Chain A
Amino acid sequence: MRLIFVILLLSIFTAGTAFAESDTHKYNEANKLFTGGDYLSALELYNSIGIKNQNLEYNRGVAYFKLGRLGKAVLHFNRALRLNPDDEDAKANLKYIDSIKKDKEKKDKTGTLEELLSAFTNSFSMNGLTSITLLFYLLTAISISGYIFVRKTGNARRVIGAIVVFSTATLVLASLTAVRIYKFENKTMAVAMQEEIVARTGPTENANTAFIFHEGTVVTTGETRNGFVKVILSSGITAWAPLRDLEKI
């Protein structure tokens, strides 16, 4: 029985490793094809990799751009940034695409403190930030438990100090992590996939045209009705666009 268990564990481990090796091989092969100018074959190979990886998303974006698919390129650069908000290449490429695409988007101005906090949180991976928060949470819990034992001794003050430090750090980190998780999970952003999309004043084909936006434009999406989704441009203008013409980031 124990032997079967060991064999099972080994086979699961080897299968996982084999998949990882296969994906890595495909990724590196796709890079070769891309470098040789065969963007389509490279993209097909990138698309056949079934894992989430920031470099993979970035390279898919570049391949789509080379094939003239601006919407898809914007989508994958944004997905790369969701996995690694500090990816300077993805940011630069989005900035470049913004300079050549038809619709110009307004960028939100951020304060210095917000920028500093973003820089700090973005220097960790999503799971890294969550793990650090959990570590401080654990230290806070241990400190509280320790205080219970030493509360009537001379060490009580020191332990209280530790509790204050750890719990404050936990609260700050938990807030930053929550913001990061919210941004990660908040899939309300979408990218226009058609060359030209007519946004209407209501969720029907008969409604009047509110505005027209173009491929690659990033919009915030709201409720969905009747095959239409409410879209909000960066300027704040709202209308309804066909759901099939957008892809969520």
Chain B
Amino acid sequence: MRKLFLVISVLLLAQSAFANIKLSAKAEPAILPPGEAFRLVITVEEEGSLSLPDPVLPRLKNFEIVGKSTSQQISVTGLSSVTVTKSVVYQLVVPKEGVFTIPPVTLTYDGKTYATEPVTITADPNAPVPRSPRTARRRSPSFYSLFDRPPFKRADRGIRKDDLIFTAEFDKNRVVPYEQVIVTYSFYQAIDIWENPDLDKPDFKGFWVENMEFLNGRKEKTTKATIGDKTYRVTQVRFALIPLTPGEHEVAPATLVAQVDPWSNPVRLRTQPYAINVEPFPSADKPAGFQNMVGDYEVSTSVKPDKPEVNGGATLTIVIEGEGYLKPVPAPYAPVIDGFEIFDPQVKDTLDKSGARTKIRRVIEYPMIPRTAGKVTIPPIEFTWYDPDLGEYVKKSTEVIELDVKPTATAPPAPVAEGDVVQMAESIRFIKPDVKKLEDYGTPLHRSLWLFVFLLTPAPVILVSYMIARKREKLATDVAYSRLFNAAKNASRQLDEIKNVPDPKDFYAGVDKAVRGYLADLWNIPAPSIDEETVNRKLKDSENGIASDITALLNTVKMARYAPTSSSDMAKDIEKAKEVIKKMEQLS
């Protein structure tokens, strides 16, 4: 096998210089009723090369392309002749009655251009209906559906390399931005497989992607093809790739995983990476305001109603239709029309992905309100796009529209109903009346931080209430605590009461009572039991000399009660008493 391949390769290399290409095109059938599909079979036959380019189909104005398939056959005759036959079959629909001509199909190879003869198609309502190719398609396996499983026969032989083939075919490798490239992934299977294969398509980085459809909106198509002596079931899916920026964009390989039988490992098939060179738009003759529209379009415009009223509604509709892709292209700015107010447009794109390329129908609707009555001319609106087939920029304008704007009609008198009130018309309710002050709803209360502060406030309040209540209870029930709690306060009050007493006797009696009372409350003992010994015993551990201060004060007070002193001494002594109480408070 390897030797045979080597021989073929050597022969091909030797013969490449003498390549002889035969290009032909025929229609099957050439006479058919309008609206029916026929096959345009283009055959490229060449001796000496395995890599034939695809023939280029001319622009078909009168036909609709609904499908395409490709097959290739290699035949080796003797030892010196290898013939490669490539067939490209387009399914075309001729929509109306008449005789139509398909211009020559061309192919450029090795610097030479080859062309077929023109093909004539007659669409005659009396012609026989061609056999539909749909029957076989319905039985096809699916890339995606697991329910349409083909019948399985266990393979009792090994799988050959050419039993399963997975290819990626790109229709172009040099484009401009926004020009679509169609990639067709084909899975050729010469043997039955256990499970439907999984297609892992690349992420198509740098492209806007549309999954193309075949007849009846199907996302895949199955045909049969013969290569050499093998007949393959071919399942195809197609994608339209729309590059957005110039530069070389590489399409990563796609992978297909097929499980041939339940007992063997799945077979992984990969395509080759493919480089697409996206060239910038030609700068020569590039019109100002070019909006990256690429393709071949027809433009039309209309206004409804054709006789609008002042302050009534009207709609300017622009329809752009043709082969191309406009989704990334913004809608044009609203035209300026005297006497009209024009709003932002509503854009509706309808994409037809069933043909060889995507076709788009973009409907742009501008809501308008006429403000003045009279004749108004809507000027032509110009569109510019780049036609890659022609290789040039194309300009087309819409037609001028004359409108007659009528003044606002006077409302007819309201009908008077007799008997039961009958609602004559239902409509929307009227606006709300004027207001004295338009209130701002502002930030709702539940979003305010203050709400959460407010919600948290009761917790500390309840806690403080609890602490206060406990303290009050303790003061009421615990005498020692109550005396201790009020000792300083009572002493201070008593000292304040006597500080202006003029009589030294009464004064010192008051000081004595306040100091002794304070100490008695502090230690929870009777006031008369406060003497020097008690003070020294209670304060034996204190280090700030407080014991001696207290005893000195008590002695001074005792002496002064019986040997009166001056008023200045009285003031000093009351300060000493306060000082002593202060020190005791610090101590406790």
Residues of A within 8 A of B (CB): 20-21, 23-24, 27-28, 31, 34-35, 37-40, 49, 51-56, 58-59, 62-63, 65-69, 73, 83, 89, 92-93, 96-97, 126-127, 130-131, 134, 137-138, 140-141, 144-145, 148-149, 151-152, 177, 181, 184, 194-196, 205-206
The answer to whether residues A31 and B445 also contact, given A53-B440, A194-B346 and a CB cut-off of 8 A, is no
The answer to whether residues A51 and B341 also contact, given A97-B428, A149-B465, A206-B211 and a CB cut-off of 8 A, is no
Residues of B within 8 A of A205 (CB): 209-210, 327
In the complex, which of the residues A21, A52, A83, A145 has the most CB atoms of chain B within 10 Å of its own CB atom?
Answer: A145
CB distance from B405 to the nearest CB of A (A): 15
Closest to B208 in A: A205
Closest to A193 in B: B346
Residues of A within 8 A of B441 (CB): 51-54, 83
Residues of B within 8 A of A34 (CB): 431
Task: State which of B348, B408, B445 has its C-beta within 8 Å of the C-beta of A37.
Answer: B408
Q: How large is the interface on B (under 10, 10 to 19, 20 to 34, 35 or more residues)?
A: 35 or more
Is the CB–CB distance between A131 and B311 below 8 Å? Answer: no
Interface residue SS majority, chain A? helix
Residues of B within 8 A of A28 (CB): 434-435
Residues of B within 8 A of A35 (CB): 431
The answer to whether residues A24 and B435 also contact, given A93-B428, A134-B454, A194-B346 and a CB cut-off of 8 A, is yes
CB distance from B3 to the nearest CB of A (A): 46
CA distance A196 to B365 in the complex (A): 13
Is the CB–CB distance between A68 and B313 below 8 Å? Answer: yes
Is the CB–CB distance between A194 and B438 below 8 Å? Answer: no
Task: State which of B211, B446, B465 has its C-beta within 8 Å of the C-beta of A181.
Answer: B446
Task: State which of B367, B429, B469 has its C-beta within 8 Å of the C-beta of A62.
Answer: B429
The answer to whether residues A96 and B458 also contact, given A31-B433, A52-B442, A53-B439 and a CB cut-off of 8 A, is no
Residues of A within 8 A of B466 (CB): 148
Is the CB–CB distance between B428 and A65 below 8 Å? Answer: yes
Is the CB–CB distance between B458 and A39 below 8 Å? Answer: no
Task: State which of B311, B446, B457, B462 has its C-beta within 8 Å of the C-beta of A39.
Answer: B311
Is the CB–CB distance between B438 and A149 below 8 Å? Answer: no
CB distance from A135 to the nearest CB of B (A): 11
Closest to B313 in A: A68
Closest 3 interchain pairs by CB?
A141-B458, A51-B440, A52-B441
Residues of A within 8 A of B426 (CB): 96
Residues of A within 8 A of B445 (CB): 126-127, 130-131
Residues of B within 8 A of A (CB): 209-211, 311, 313, 327, 341, 343, 346, 348, 365, 367, 369, 408, 426-442, 444-446, 451, 454-455, 457-458, 461-462, 465-466, 468-469, 472-473
Is the CB–CB distance between A27 and B434 below 8 Å? Answer: yes
CB distance from A41 to the nearest CB of B (A): 9
Closest to B429 in A: A89
Is the CB–CB distance between A24 and B458 below 8 Å? Answer: no
The answer to whether residues A40 and B210 also contact, given A31-B434, A148-B462, A148-B469 and a CB cut-off of 8 A, is no
Is the CB–CB distance between B210 and A51 below 8 Å? Answer: no
CA distance A127 to B444 in the complex (A): 6
Residues of A within 8 A of B457 (CB): 141
CA distance A149 to B210 in the complex (A): 77
5 contacts between A and B (CB under 8 A): A27-B438, A28-B434, A53-B438, A54-B441, A138-B458
CA distance A151 to B470 in the complex (A): 11
In the complex, which of the residues B441, B454, B473 has the most CB atoms of chain A within 10 Å of its own CB atom?
Answer: B441
Closest to B341 in A: A40
CA distance A109 to B209 in the complex (A): 44
CB distance from A171 to the nearest CB of B (A): 14
CA distance A205 to B346 in the complex (A): 19
CA distance A177 to B211 in the complex (A): 50
Is the CB–CB distance between B451 and A24 below 8 Å? Answer: no
